[in-house]
């Protein structure tokens, strides 16, 4: 687990000789493994903490010994890029890592037989592949300093894979799942920095599941779960990604909400959050721009939820009336 940052940034500013080529690639790979992101040409950043300082000092020494020049600076951003923009660069880099793993997990799921027992040899092969994907997730998680949004996506896929490998066909004694009773005035917890799935899920909870819901936005690594809290769209949450379902879809399924207008919203949220273009709705791009604009303009989660709720209220009304009018 990454050490808690002190605030501010460590910047490695370097000049590397053009030859030999392998040396530049070697340094780039070292910085990638540390989770550093390039914020300018030859300027790489990490959140400021003791471990990052030690790691970057080793890279600096390696650059100098290889004939280059480097400086390590502790800085706070004043003009140009702001802290939230740099954090988003870190999230985007880790999102790409998680998405690559998610794509491999989907390929692995497609290799599972649809029916019948999995042969022992095939099961061992799939379990080994699953273990490799889980290891990759763990490696990315160690440099996921600001909790990229795609972590829940890949966790849901790997959990589905794990459950399918553990299951055996022919079980008939399991009771069918029942709709959950809707809570009243519960404390619902999710990660800070809410984006499309968490914005939409919180709106869904307050409008259709628990009108008196209280929300708590937490840094997931520091949060300690309290009895009675309900977690959504976060690791180990009661309502989070399951297989190919985003958290919004999981909430609809668990509380058996069948509103067609909400189904349309769910398809939009799914495509933006999972980035798999499963539904390919024409509404996706416009809604994603709105959500990104809300996130860029408002760092406070409560304000993000308020702004997104206005948009979702109106979009829900549009889909509801559109369906009544007989349009498809």
Position 172 scores a pLDDT of 45
d(CA 113, CA 109): 9
Is residue 130 within 8 A of residue 159, CB to CB? The reply is no
Query: Which pairing describes strands 214-218 and 69-75: parallel, antiparallel, or unpaired?
Result: unpaired
Average predicted confidence (pLDDT) for the chain = 89
Q: pLDDT (tens digit, 9 = 90+) per residue, 53-66?
A: 999 999 999 999 99
| Mean per-residue pLDDT, 279-285 | 93
Q: pLDDT (tens digit, 9 = 90+) per residue, 141-150?
A: 999 998 888 9
Is residue 145 within 8 A of residue 47, CB to CB? The reply is yes
Alpha carbon 91 to its chain centroid, in Å, reads 8
Q: pLDDT (tens digit, 9 = 90+) per residue, 125-143?
A: 899 999 999 999 999 999 9
Q: Is the pLDDT of residue 302 over 90?
A: yes
CB atoms within 10 A of CB 173: 4
Which residue matches tokens 């509103």? Answer: 259
Which residue matches tokens 């949004």? Answer: 149
- Residue among 207, 143, 208, 205 nearest 216 (CA): 205
In DSSP notation, 31-83 reads HHHHT-EEEETTEEEEE-SHHHHHHHHHHHHHHHHTT-EEEEEEE---SSS-H
pTM: 0.76
Q: pLDDT (tens digit, 9 = 90+) per residue, 223-252?
A: 788 889 999 998 888 999 999 999 999 999
Specify the DSSP class assigned to residue 117.
P
Alpha carbon 126 to its chain centroid, in Å, reads 25
Q: In whole angstroms, how far apart are CA 56 and each of 13, 14, 71, 92, 93?
A: 10, 11, 10, 21, 18
Position 305 scores a pLDDT of 97
In DSSP notation, 77-111 reads --SSS-HHHHHHHHHHHHHHHHHHHHHHHHHHHHT
- Residue among 117, 130, 122, 109 nearest 171 (CA): 117
Tokens of 264: 């349309």
Q: In whole angstroms, how far apart are CA 9 and each of 49, 103, 140?
A: 8, 32, 20
């Amino acid at each position: 687990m990454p050490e808690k940052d002190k605030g501010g940034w460590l910047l490695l500013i370097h000049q590397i000789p053009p030859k030999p080529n392998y040396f530049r690639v070697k340094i780039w790979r070292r910085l990638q493994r540390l989770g550093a992101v390039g914020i300018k040409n030859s300027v790489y950043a990490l959140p400021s903490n003791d471990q990052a300082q030690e790691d970057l000092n080793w890279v600096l020494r390696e650059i100098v010994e290889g004939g280059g020049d480097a400086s390590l600076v502790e800085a706070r951003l004043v003009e140009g890029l702001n802290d939230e923009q740099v954090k988003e660069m870190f999230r985007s880099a880790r999102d790409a890592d998680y998405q690559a793993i998610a794509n491999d997990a989907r390929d692995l799921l497609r290799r599972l037989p649809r029916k019948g027992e999995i042969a022992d040899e095939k099961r061992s092969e799939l379990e080994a592949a699953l273990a490799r994907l889980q290891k990759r997730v763990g490696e990315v998680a160690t440099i996921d300093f600001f909790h990229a949004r795609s972590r829940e996506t890949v966790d849901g896929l790997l959990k589905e894979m794990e459950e399918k490998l553990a299951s055996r066909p022919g079980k008939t004694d399991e009771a069918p799942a029942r709709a959950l009773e809707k809570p009243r005035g519960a404390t619902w917890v999710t990660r800070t920095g809410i984006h499309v799935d968490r914005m939409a899920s919180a709106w869904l909870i307050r409008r259709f599941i628990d009108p008196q819901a209280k929300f708590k936005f937490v840094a997931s690594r520091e949060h300690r779960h309290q009895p009675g809290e309900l977690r959504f769209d976060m690791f180990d949450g009661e309502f989070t990604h399951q297989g190919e379902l985003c958290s919004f879809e999981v909430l609809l399924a668990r509380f058996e909400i069948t509103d067609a207008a909400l189904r349309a919203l769910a398809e939009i949220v799914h495509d933006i959050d999972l980035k798999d273009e499963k539904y390919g709705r024409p509404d996706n791009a416009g809604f994603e721009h709105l959500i990104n604009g809300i996130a860029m303009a408002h760092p406070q989660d409560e304000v993000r939820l308020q702004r997104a709720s206005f948009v979702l209220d109106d979009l829900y009304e549009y889909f509801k009336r559109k369906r009544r009018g007989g349009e498809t």
